[in-house]
Amino acid sequence: MFLLLYFIVLIYVKDFALTEDSVITPLCQKGYFPCGNLTKCLPRSFHCDGVNDCGNGADEENCGDTSGWATIFGTIHGNADKVAFAQECFLTQYPPHCDCKETELECVNADLKLVPSVSSNVTLLSLKKNKIHSLPDKVFIKYTELKKIFLQHNCIRHISSKAFFGLHNLQILYLNHNCITVLRPGVFKDLHQLTWLILDDNPITRISQQLFTGLNSLFFLSMVNNYLEALPNQMCAQMPQLNWMDLEGNGIKILTNSTFLSCDALTVLFLPRNQIDFVPEKTFSSLKNLGELDLSSNVITELPTHIFTDLKLLQKLNLSSNPLLYLHKNQFESLKQLQSLDLERIEIPNINTRMFQPMRNLSHIYFKNFRYCSYAPHVRICMPLTDGISSFEDLLANNILRICVWVIAFLTCFGNLFVIGMRSFIKAENTTHAMSIKILCCADCLMGVYLFFVGFSDLKYRGQYQKYALLWMESLQCRLMGVLAMLSTEVSVLLLTYLTLEKFLAVVFPFSNIHPGKRHTSLILIGIWIVGFLIAVIPFWNDDYFGNFYGKNGVCFPLYDDQTEDNGGKGYSLGIFLGVNLLAFLIIVFSYGIMFCSIHKTTLQTSEVRSHIGREVAVANRFFFIVFSDAICWIPVFVIKILSLFRVEIPGTITSWVVIFFLPVNSALNPILYTLTTSFFKDKLKQLLHRHRRKSIFQTKNKSLSTSIVWTDDSSSLKLGVLNKITFGDNITKPMS
């Protein structure tokens, strides 16, 4: 009998692994199983609990299919052929509203207030969903043949310590979903044959040491959602056959090295949603037959190195949602049979490939971070499948991203190259300013080059990214790409700040004549490049301190840091993005604000009301666009950084869209804002086009752009000289007619 049960449990455990497989298909989320052909999904604990939760019986059906499981679990429904054969009732005495089949009696929802009096040779008594509130002394003493009792959903408050006297043949006892607060010592004393004891969802507060005395062949113990706090020492001393123990959600705080001391037969141990904070060495050393161990959602911060050493047969281990600080590098060394390992929500700062290599049979692994998957390359299924940027197969998981990276790279690169070309071709009067703009375009162009590299790498690893993810993120190319992107953004930010400050001085103090000379400007520009370069390469200086600063994700940009990041790199990235860049952004916003007010004041003093309104709108438009493009570029970055300070988890999807869409916005728009739409450029272009008598589409296109963004300079007052400087002004030669 025991062997049979054992095999059935093994099959069930196997089945578990199967339901977990089906979880991979998008039908139901992990830990849930599908209700046959319905779209409904139910949690694991609803499977085979004797209640038709699905509505179509699918949650009870699979138990019947797994070779005799139904008879053990006592599902009397769901077995179609049994209903067909057994219509006869062998019981002479039983209450109305009850169904009798052979010697099995079912009184579900029959409004019973007491355990009814029935024929003494009853073997199964189901009293689910009645109004029984108390089980007095010796209430079942007549029914020595009873094998199964179902008492769930009754709100039983009181169980006499002699309630189950005489039930020497009882195998299955369901007491879940009642109102039991106290289980008296010796209450299960006579239940020598008991194999299943289900006690979940009772507000039990006290469990005594002698409670399980006499349960010599208890096989299945389920006590979910009680308030146990502590387990009796050597729980299994009285229940040596105990095979399945479910103690979910009980507030258990302490496990000692003797709690499970003689539980040699235990194959399944569920301890999720308790308050366990420490698991001493040798706690599980007796559990030689354990197949599944669930310690998820506890408060364990540390696991001894050899805690799992004796669990040679363990197939499934769930440690998810524990605030573990550290995993030893040979923590899982002896788990040769392990098939499923759940480490969700656990940071593993010291993760390395050797940690998972000994588990040759591992087929499912669940991590907090997609990046960790590269450390367990031999595992068939690794979750999560994507970090929002990369999937298992592709560097850029999203098709839109994949296309956009090329489009934006092209726009950025060629827009900037075009401007550099135009600026060299058309001689400006203010050559130092033109030089600054060209340098800005160079920096922005690097962003385009970076995006091209991202696109190329995506193409290169298409369909097989998971094989190379780790290599790629650690590679020199990836780091250099990161340097390129960092250099581009930082030089661009510093240059924009410099240009803004220069213009600010020219506008707010128009007559002070503090224009930097050519040598001065060159020095400042060189200085900016050196600073940008230093910012980009400093993370290479000390690998221990910064870690792999750039290779945190597939696009090699150190924007988002999960909590596992080394403090050095994290602080540095914060300092750059929330320090330097935020400061630069604020300088730009305030400078433009003050400039606008200043121009507003000066134009009010001039007489021509009609023209100055239009002019002011144009100035406002222009300033708005410059500040706005800066804002859409940088505000998402600042928000992400600030949220990460508060330890808010940011989906990788958002990071990838910021890196590929928002960050290059400035680089792509700068040529338009600072050259293509300035009146100087427009005039020059007109002249050129006029000279070559070529009326192309380009001109009309340019015109339509210019009407929206650019102001027209048609008046020639002294003030105009001031205003023209704001257009990044190339000291305009007067418009000719």
CB nearer to ligand NAG: pick between 90 and 533: 90
Residue 381: CB minimum distance to ligand NAG, A: 10
CB nearer to ligand NAG: pick between 262 and 699: 262
CB nearer to ligand NAG: pick between 128 and 273: 273
* Contact predicate 188/196, CB 8 Å: no
For the chain, helix (H) and strand (E) counts, in that order, are: 18, 20
Classify strands 124-126 and 148-150 as parallel, antiparallel or unpaired. Answer: parallel
Burial status of residue 80 (CB atoms within 10 A of its CB: 0-12, 13-18, 19 or more) = exposed
Provide CB contacts within 8 A for 90, sequence distance 6+.
100, 102, 103, 119, 121
CB nearer to ligand NAG: pick between 192 and 312: 312
* Contact predicate 212/190, CB 8 Å: no
CB nearer to ligand NAG: pick between 310 and 616: 310
Q: Which residues bind ligand NAG (CB under 6 A)?
A: 20, 30-31, 37, 90, 92, 103, 119, 121, 257, 272, 282, 296-297, 318, 320-321, 336-337, 340, 342, 360-361, 366
Residue 172: CB minimum distance to ligand NAG, A: 20
CB nearer to ligand NAG: pick between 379 and 494: 379
Report the 3 state secondary structure along 437-463. Answer: HHHHHHHHHHHHHHHHHHHHHHHHCCC
CB nearer to ligand NAG: pick between 77 and 158: 77
317: which strand partners? 293, 341
Looking at the chain, how many residues does it have? 737
Classify strands 41-43 and 32-34 as parallel, antiparallel or unpaired. Answer: antiparallel
Q: What's the rounded Cα separation, in Å, for the pair 574 and 638? A: 9
Question: Please, which contacts does 226-231 make with residues 24 or more away whose CB atoms are closer than 8 Å?
Answer: 226/199, 226/200, 226/202, 226/250, 226/251, 227/203, 227/251, 228/204, 228/252, 229/253, 229/254, 229/275, 230/254, 231/207, 231/255, 231/259
User: Around 621, how many Cα atoms within 13 Å sit in the side-chain half-sphere?
Assistant: 17
CB nearer to ligand NAG: pick between 81 and 544: 81
Residue 374: CB minimum distance to ligand NAG, A: 20
The residue type at 186:
G
Residue 91: CB minimum distance to ligand NAG, A: 6
Q: What's the rounded Cα separation, in Å, for the pair 185 and 187? A: 6
CB nearer to ligand NAG: pick between 318 and 521: 318
Q: What's the rounded Cα separation, in Å, for the pair 658 and 635? A: 10
Residue 248: CB minimum distance to ligand NAG, A: 8
CB nearer to ligand NAG: pick between 233 and 464: 233
* Contact predicate 182/156, CB 8 Å: no
Residue 471: CB minimum distance to ligand NAG, A: 27
Residue 36: CB minimum distance to ligand NAG, A: 6
Q: What does the radius of gyration of the chain's CA atoms come to, in whole angstroms?
A: 37
Nearest residue to 183 via CA among 213, 216, 219: 213
Residue 64: CB minimum distance to ligand NAG, A: 14
Buried b (16+ CB within 10 A) or exposed e, 548-587: bbbbbbbbbbbbbbbebbbebbbebbeebbbebbbebbeb
CB nearer to ligand NAG: pick between 40 and 686: 40
Residue 94: CB minimum distance to ligand NAG, A: 11
CB nearer to ligand NAG: pick between 250 and 489: 250
Residue 38: CB minimum distance to ligand NAG, A: 6
CB nearer to ligand NAG: pick between 247 and 658: 247
User: Around 140, how many Cα atoms within 13 Å sit in the side-chain half-sphere?
Assistant: 33
- Three-point CA angle 285, 30, 387, nearest 5°: 100
Burial status of residue 145 (CB atoms within 10 A of its CB: 0-12, 13-18, 19 or more) = middle
Residue 230: CB minimum distance to ligand NAG, A: 16
Residue 493: CB minimum distance to ligand NAG, A: 43
Q: What's the rounded Cα separation, in Å, for the pair 586 and 716? A: 33
Residue 340: CB minimum distance to ligand NAG, A: 5
Buried b (16+ CB within 10 A) or exposed e, 715-724: eeeebbebbb
